[in-house]
Amino acid sequence: MGGIMSEIIDPKKFSKESREPLIKIKLEDLIKLEDLKEEPPIKEPPTAWTERYDFTLDGHAAVGIPVPKNEEEKGALVEKFLKGLENDLSKEGNWTFAQQFKLSMDYCTKCGACEEACPIYVASGKKNIYSPLYRSEILRRIYRKHFTSAGKLFGSIVTGDIEETWQLITRLIELSYRCNICRRCAQACPIGIDNGLIAREIRKIASQELGIAAKELHENGTVLQLKVGSSTGMNPEGFKKIVKMMEEDIESKTGLKIKIPVDEKGADILLIHNAGEYLSWPENPEAYAIIFEKAGLSWTLSAEPIGYDSVNYGVWYDDIQLARVAKKHVEIARKLGVKRIVVGECGHATKALVVTAERLFTKENYIPRESVLPILADIVEKNKIDVDPQKNDFPVTLHDPCNIVRLSGIVEPQRKILRKIAPSFREMEPHGVWNYCCGGGSGFAIMHSYNFDQWKNKVAARMKVKQILDAFKKELNDGSFKYVCAPCSNCKGEIRDFISHYKLWEKFRINYGGLAELVVNAMSEIKNPYISKDEFH
Amino acid sequence: MQNPSMGLINYIAYVSYFSFIFAIIVTLLKISKYANTPLHLRWELYPVPSEKEHVHGGSYLERPEWWKTEIKEERGSELIDMLKEMIFIKRLYNNKRKQWYFSFLFHGGIYLLLIWFVFTFVGSVLELANIASGTLFMAFFYASLAFGYVGIFATFIGTVGLIGLRATDKRVSYLTAPIDYFNLAFISLILLSMIVSLFSDPYFNYARSFLAYLISGTGLILPFKQSFLPVTSYITVLLLCLFFLYLPFTKMTHFLGKFYTYHRVQWDSRPNMVAGKFDEKKDVLIRKNLSLTVPWDAPHSPKGKKWEEL
Q: pLDDT tens digits for B35-89? A: 999 999 999 999 999 999 999 999 999 999 999 999 999 999 999 999 999 999 9
Q: Write out chain B residues lying below 8 Å of A157, CB-based.
A: 177-179, 182
Give the number of C-alpha atoms closer than 13 A to the C-alpha of residue A521, restricted to the C-beta side. Answer: 27
The C-alpha atoms of residue A468 and residue A473 are separated, in whole angstroms, by 8
pLDDT, averaged across chain B: 95
* Chain B residues in contact with A412 (beta carbon < 8 A): 53, 56, 58, 62
Distance of CA A46 to the CA centre of its chain: 28
Closest Cα in chain B to A126: B171
Say whether residue B180 is in contact with chain A using an 8 A CB cutoff: yes
pLDDT at residue B1 is higher than 80: no
CB contact under 8 A, B171 and A112: yes
Beta carbons of B40 and A97 less than 8 Å apart: yes
Angstrom distance (rounded) from CA A49 to CA A61: 9
Mutation choice for A interface testing from B26, B61, B73 by most A CBs within 10 A: B61
Q: Is B309 on the interface with A (CB under 8 A)?
A: no
Given an 8 Å threshold on Cβ–Cβ distance, is A413 in contact with B62? yes
On whether any CB of chain B is under 8 Å from the CB of A66, the answer is no
Testing the interface with B: which of A320, A378, A398, A416 to mutate, by most B Cβ within 10 A? Answer: A320
Q: Is B97 helix (H, G, I), strand (E, B) or coil?
A: helix
Query: Chain B residue with minimal CA distance to A413?
Result: B62
Pairing mode, strands B273-274 and B277-278: antiparallel
Q: DSSP character for A286?
A: H
Overall average pLDDT of the A292-313 stretch: 98
Could you tell me which residues come within 8 angstroms of residue A100 by beta carbon, excluding any fewer than 6 positions away?
A194, A197, B40, B43, B261, B265
User: Same structural domain for residues B121 and B227?
Assistant: yes
C-beta atoms surrounding B278 within 10 Å = 16
Kind plus residue range of the DSSP H or E element containing A197: helix A195-205
Q: Crossing angle of helices B134-168/B178-200, nearest 10°? A: 150
Q: How far apart are CA A140 and CA A187, in angstroms?
A: 20
Q: Which of B99, B180, B307 sits opposite A323 (nearest CB)?
A: B307
Which one of B34, B43, B65, B92 makes the best mutation probe of the A interface by having the most chain A beta carbons within 10 Å?
A: B43
Residues A166, A144: Cα–Cα separation, whole Å: 18
Tell which residue, A372, A368, A366, A396, has the closest CA to residue A274.
A372
What local confidence, expressed as pLDDT, does residue A7 receive?
85
**Do B199 and B91 sit in the same domain of this protein?**
yes
Local confidence band at A537 (pLDDT 50, 70, 90 cut-offs): confident
In chain A, domain spans: 11-212, 219-376, 386-522
**Same-domain pairing of B292 and B207:** no
SS3 assignment, position A253: helix
Q: Which pairs from A238-243 meet CB under 8 Å and 24+ separation? A: A239/A275, A239/A278, A239/A303, A239/A308, A240/A303, A242/A278, A242/A279, A242/A282, A243/A301, A243/A303
How far apart are alpha carbons A144 and A167 in whole angstroms? Answer: 19
Question: Same domain, yes or no, for B36 and B169?
Answer: yes
pLDDT in tens, A236-282: 999 999 999 999 999 999 999 999 999 999 999 999 999 999 999 99
CA–CA separation, B23 and B14 (whole Å): 14
B-chain residue closest to A373, CA distance: B62
**Is the domain of B222 the same as that of B288?**
no
**Residue A508, Cβ density class (10 Å: 0-12 exposed, 13-18 middle, ≥19 buried):** buried
Determine the average pLDDT of the residues in A494-506: 98
- Buried/exposed A125-137: b ≥16 CB within 10 Å, e otherwise: bbbbbbbbbbbbb
Helix (H, G, I), strand (E, B) or coil at A193: coil
Q: Is B281 in CB contact (< 8 Å) with chain A? A: no
Question: Are B95 and B198 in a shared domain?
Answer: yes
Average pLDDT estimate for A100-125: 97
- Please tell me which of the candidates A113, A115, A156 has its beta carbon nearest to residue B91: A113
B6 pLDDT higher than 70: no
Write the burial class of residue A390 (CB in 10 Å: 0-12 exposed, 13-18 middle, 19+ buried): exposed
Q: Does the structure show a pLDDT above 70 at B298? A: yes
Q: Are A524 and A387 in contact (CB under 8 A)?
A: yes
Instruction: Give B208's Cβ-side CA count (13 Å radius).
Output: 26
Alpha helices in A126-165 (DSSP H): 132-147, 149-154, 156-159
Residue contact A8–B174, C-beta within 8 A: yes
Do residues A128 and B175 touch, judged by C-beta distance below 8 A? Answer: no
Q: A409 vs B254: CB contact, 8 Å cut-off?
A: no
How many CB atoms lie under 10 A from the CB of residue B255? 12
Question: Given a cut of 90, is residue B7 above it in pLDDT?
Answer: no
In angstroms, what separates the C-alpha of B167 from chain A's closest C-alpha?
A: 12
B203 and B259 assigned to the same domain = yes
pLDDT score at B226: 80
Are the CB atoms for B236 and B198 separated by under 8 Å? no
Name the pTM for this structure: 0.96
Contact A320, B296 (CB under 8 A): yes
Q: Which residues are within 8 A (CB) of A200 and not within 5 positions of it... i.e. 6 or more apart?
A: A97, A176, A181, A316, A317, A442
CB crowding A188-198: b at 16 or more within 10 Å, else e: bbbbbbbbbbb
Q: Label residue B227 by pLDDT band (50, 70, 90).
A: confident
Residue of B nearest to A369 (CA): B65
Instruction: Write the single-letter amino acid at A403.
Output: N
Question: Which of A151, A135, A139, A140 lies closest to B179 in space, CA to CA?
Answer: A151
CA distance B46 to A405: 7
Asked whether the predicted pLDDT for residue A527 surpasses 80, the reply is yes
Q: Do A8 and B287 touch (CB under 8 A)?
A: no
State whether residue A490 is helix, strand or coil.
helix
A176 residue type, one letter: S
The reply to whether B62 touches chain A by the CB within 8 Å rule is: yes
Q: Chain B residue closest to A328 (CA)?
A: B310
* SS3 assignment for A290-316: HHHHHHCCCEEECCCCCCCCCCCCHHH
pLDDT, residue A2, reads 42
SS3 call for A323: helix
pLDDT band at B132 (very low <50, low <70, confident <90, very high): confident
Q: Hey, what amino acid is at A352?
A: A
Q: Name the residue among A339, A315, A340 with its Cα closest to residue A325.
A: A315
Interatomic CA distance for residues A244 and A36, integer angstroms: 42
Stretch 267-326 of chain A: residues touching chain B, C-beta under 8 Å: 319-321, 323-324
Bridge-based pairing state of the strands B277-278 and A482-485: unpaired
End-to-end CA separation in angstroms for chain A: 32
Question: Are A213 and A316 contacting, i.e. CB atoms less than 8 angstroms apart?
Answer: no
Distance (Å, whole) CA B60 – CA B53:
7
Nearest to B107 by CA among B155, B38, B43, B46: B155
What DSSP designation does A478 have?
A: T
The residue range of the domain holding B301 is 281-310
Q: What is the pLDDT of residues A390-445, one digit of tens each?
A: 999 999 999 999 999 999 999 999 999 999 999 999 999 999 999 999 999 999 99
Q: Please answer yes or no on whether B176 and A191 come within 8 Å at the CB atom.
A: no
Domain count for chain B = 2
Residues B273 and B296 in one domain: no
- What is the pLDDT averaged over residues A501-527? 98
C-alpha distances in angstroms, A178 versus A18, A19, A460, A494, A504? 20, 19, 8, 15, 24
**Residues A196-251 pLDDT 10s:** 999 999 999 999 999 999 999 999 999 999 999 999 999 999 999 999 999 999 99
- The answer to whether residues A35 and A476 touch, using CB atoms and an 8 Å cutoff, is yes
pLDDT the model gives residue A410: 98
pLDDT above 90 covers what percent of chain A?
98
Supply the ipTM of this predicted assembly.
0.96
CB-based contact B38 A10, cutoff 8 Å: no
B120 and B224 together in one domain: yes
Residue A235: Cβ within 10 Å count: 15
B290 and B152 co-located in one domain: no
Please indicate, yes or no, whether residues B299 and B247 belong to a single structural domain of this protein.
no
**Is the omega angle on the peptide bond into residue A430 within 30 degrees of 0, that is, cis?**
yes
Band of the pLDDT at A124, cuts 50, 70, 90? very high
Residue A153 at interface with chain B, using a CB cutoff of 8 Å: no
Judged against a pLDDT cut of 90, whether residue B254 lies above it is answered with: yes
Report residue A277: phi and psi, to 5°.
-60, -45
Kindly report, residue by residue over B70-82, the tens digit of the pLDDT. 999 999 999 999 9
User: Is A108–B251 a contact, with Cβ atoms under 8 angstroms apart?
Assistant: yes
Contacts of A362 in chain B (CB under 8 A): 283, 286-287, 290
> Could you tell me the CA-to-CA distances from A360 to A66, A174, A365, B38, B279 in Å, in that order?
35, 29, 9, 13, 14
Q: Are residues B167 and B292 in the same domain?
A: no
DSSP labels, A61-111: -SS-PBPP-SHHHHHHHHHHHHHHHHHHTSHHHHTTTHHHHHHHHH-----
Rounded to the nearest 5 percent, the helix, strand and coil shares of chain B are 70, 0, 30
Whether B295 and A356 lie within 8 Å, measured CB to CB = no
Helix pair angle (B97-128, B205-215), 10° resolution: 60
Give pLDDT, residue B224: 83
Mean pLDDT of B91-107: 97
pLDDT of residue B2: 43
- Write down the mean pLDDT value for chain A: 97
- CA angle, residues A325, A327, A330, in degrees to nearest 5: 110
Do residues A308 and A232 make contact, with C-beta atoms less than 8 angstroms apart?
Answer: no
Which pLDDT band holds residue A178 (cuts at 50, 70, 90)? very high
Query: In terms of DSSP bridges, do strands A425-426 and A396-398 run parallel, antiparallel, or are they unpaired?
Result: parallel
Question: Side chain identity at B222, as an amino acid letter?
Answer: L
Beta partners for residue A485, in sequence order: A398, A513
**A49 burial type by CB count under 10 A (0-12 exposed, 13-18 middle, 19+ buried):** middle
Q: How far is A133 from chain B (nearest CA, A)?
A: 9
The pLDDT score that the predictor gives to residue A5 is 55
Taking the CA of residue A103 and the nearest CA in chain B, the distance in Å comes to 6
Amino acid at B146: A
Residues of chain B with C-beta less than 8 angstroms from the C-beta of A10: 174
B131 pLDDT above the threshold of 80: yes
